[in-house]
Chain A
Amino acid sequence: MARLNDDAQWIVLMGFLVSFSFFFLALVINQSTIVGQTTAESVIEFSKNDIRDIRDVIITNTTTSNLTVINNDITNISLSRKSAVVYYDNDFHFIHYYNGVTQYNERNWTV
């Protein structure tokens, strides 16, 4: 058997360390392509426009004669098309909006 050569152990060890660190760096870079996916989805799902729009349609139609029918329209279509639970009373004291992520409640005592 040839004589075991134990020269350059430090260099070999450093080589191992560098190659392992490259491996972990590659893992990090690999993950970076999907980082922010969930954030992006939650940003675009944020229902600011929905809440403003539904508040707008509720409050600007206080004078119409068939409030109950419109109330049912808004509640049913919201649930079906926007996956949002909407409740408001016809005296406009209370507006509730909840789409499973974002909740909005408004009380208006002065009306």
Chain B
Amino acid sequence: MVKNDNGQLYTIEGFAAGLIMVITAYLVVNATSVYTAGDTHINDMQLEALGSDALRMMDIPINASESDNRHSDLRTIIENSEYDTFKIKFLDYTNESGSGPGHDIQFNASYSCRDSSDNIQSVQMVNSRNLTGGEHAVRSTKWVIVDKECPGAGPSLRERAVLVEVLLWRD
């Protein structure tokens, strides 16, 4: 058997060069990532949280100590059907309008109420764009106590609980 120990340094250099090339290739390949279906929840959850926060801000009375006669914006909007106000405030709270960088968020808002025969009615409030069915929308909801009966039930007799539902999607 031939015992030859020439070129040991060259061999080490070769290994070092090989390692450098492999590590470089690894870093380059990892510099970007493929957006898979499993990653969509990150954007969706952010959008849902944004909608929930906006609805929650709208449902806080201006002055809690006077909450008996000064109701939250959301309650006033539903009781008086001021749906354009809802649109203005909601787009403002989601940074779609107003100062600062804007988002490309569209929404469709409605609320659900229970009528006298225990059916659940959905009342369309306002939207920023008509739904086509192709949107990848998330839903944010908020319970609101309002002094208003379901449509068709006549004048309001007492406070009721309704569920405000907002579908949110990005362009």
Contact = CB atoms under 8 A, between A and B. Distances in A.
B7 interface: no
Contacts, number: 92
Interface string B29-51: 00000101111110011001100
A44 B161 contact: no
Interface stretch (B78-86, B91-99, B113-121): B113-121
B52 A49 contact: yes
Interface residues of A, number: 32
A8 interface: no
Interface in A1-49: 32-37, 39-41, 43-44, 49
A77 B163 contact: yes
Indicate the size class of the contact surface on chain B.
Answer: 20 to 34
Nearest to A57: B143
B143 A74 contact: yes
Contact of B138 (A44, A50, A64): A44
B159 A81 contact: no
Contacts of A72: 114, 118
Contacts of A65: 158-159
A73 B83 CA distance: 22
Given A40-B39, A56-B143, A66 B158 contact: yes
Interface centre among A39, A44, A61 (most CB of B within 10 A): A44
Interface of A: 32-37, 39-41, 43-44, 49-50, 53-54, 56-57, 61, 64-66, 69-70, 72-74, 76-78, 80-82
